């Protein structure tokens, strides 16, 4: 009986040890991913040049919104959701991404167009891609920013 108990606790011990190793590895992987993401944000920040928007022109504001909706559906909706509520497929499939609802009436970028364009370009280290590094053109960054501010239904 005693032998059995010892064996059981040995098994339990090694199971726990394996578990904490796996946890440590997962934590190390996550830390490495976060560091890489932070590096990318830094790189994108270094590349970002607000003057890149100076030469962007649109025939009409409507053109910017229409182009922005195309960019949004190709590049953003998979995470942010079709209606920008933060519930795209990547997210609802149990991913760890947590994009905020961008349709709220007091959305933080509504009166900060410059900040919005820069945020889209540089991304974050919590899952928002660094669109500048992905090669999204200034004109398309501008378009999708216009779309997000003026082209989506917002709660009141
Ligand atoms: C891979 C998933 C993913 C894609 C694709 C993506 N985003 Fe994001 N986005 C996120 C996540 C996650 C956050 C929250 C990041 C954080 O908390 O740091 C975010 C945050 C944002 C924010 C800040 C919102 C707020 O209210 O603070 C904006 C603006 C934004 N994204 C715009 C875009 C645009 C525009 C595109 C397409 C060009 C896009 N995102 C594509 C995942 C994504």
The domain segmentation of the chain, as residue ranges, is 46-150
pLDDT of res. 2: 54
Give the residue ranges of DSSP H helices in 48-71.
61-71
Check whether 18 has a pLDDT greater than 90: no
pLDDT of res. 91: 80
Check whether 11 has a pLDDT greater than 80: no
CA–CA dist 140, 108 (Å, integer): 21
Would you place residue 136 in the very low, low, confident or very high pLDDT band (cuts 50, 70, 90)? very high
Residue 99 φ then ψ, to 5°: -75, 140
Whether residue 98 has its Cβ less than 6 Å from ligand 1: yes
Average pLDDT over every residue of 134-147: 97
Residue nearest to atom 37 of ligand 1 (CA): 76
Q: Which of 128, 130, 132 to mutate to test the pocket of ligand 1 (most atoms within 8 A of CB)?
A: 128
Mean per-residue pLDDT over the chain, rounded: 88
Whether residue 117 has its Cβ less than 6 Å from ligand 1: no
Q: Which of 99, 116, 140 to mutate to test the pocket of ligand 1 (most atoms within 8 A of CB)?
A: 99
Residue-wise pLDDT for 63-84, tens only, equals 999 999 999 999 999 999 999 9
Residue 108's contacts (CB-CB under 8 Å, 6 or more residues apart) are none
Tokens of 60: 């009409």
Query: N- to C-terminal Cα distance for the chain?
Result: 70
CA–CA dist 146, 104 (Å, integer): 16
Task: Output the pTM of the full model.
Answer: 0.85
What top-level class would CATH report for the domain 46-150?
mainly alpha
The DSSP element (H or E) to which 36 belongs, if any, is helix 2-47
DSSP string, 66-117: HHHHHHIIIIIHHHH-TTSSS--HHHHTT-S--PPPTT-TT-TTTT-HHHHH
Would you place residue 116 in the very low, low, confident or very high pLDDT band (cuts 50, 70, 90)? very high
Whether residue 123 has its Cβ less than 6 Å from ligand 1: no
Query: How many Å lie between the centroid of ligand 1 and the Cα of residue 46?
Result: 19
For 83-118, letters b (16+ CB in 10 Å) and e give: ebbbebebbeeeeeeebeebbeeebebeeebeebbb
Would you place residue 37 in the very low, low, confident or very high pLDDT band (cuts 50, 70, 90)? confident
């Amino acid at each position: 009986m005693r032998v059995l108990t010892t064996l059981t606790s040995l098994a339990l011990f090694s199971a726990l040890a394996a578990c904490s190793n796996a946890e440590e590895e997962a934590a190390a992987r996550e830390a490495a991913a976060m560091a890489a993401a932070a590096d990318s944000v830094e790189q994108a920040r270094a590349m970002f040049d607000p003057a890149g928007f100076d030469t962007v022109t649109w025939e009409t504001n409507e053109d910017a919104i229409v182009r922005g909706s195309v960019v949004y559906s190709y590049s953003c909706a998979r995470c942010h959701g079709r209606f920008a509520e933060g519930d795209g497929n990547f997210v609802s499939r149990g991913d760890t991404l947590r994009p905020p609802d961008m349709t709220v009436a007091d959305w933080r970028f509504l009166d900060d167009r410059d900040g919005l364009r820069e945020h889209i370009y540089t991304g974050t280290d919590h899952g928002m891609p660094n669109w500048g590094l992905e090669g999204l053109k200034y004109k398309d960054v501008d378009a999708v920013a216009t779309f997000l501010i003026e082209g989506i239904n917002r709660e009141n």
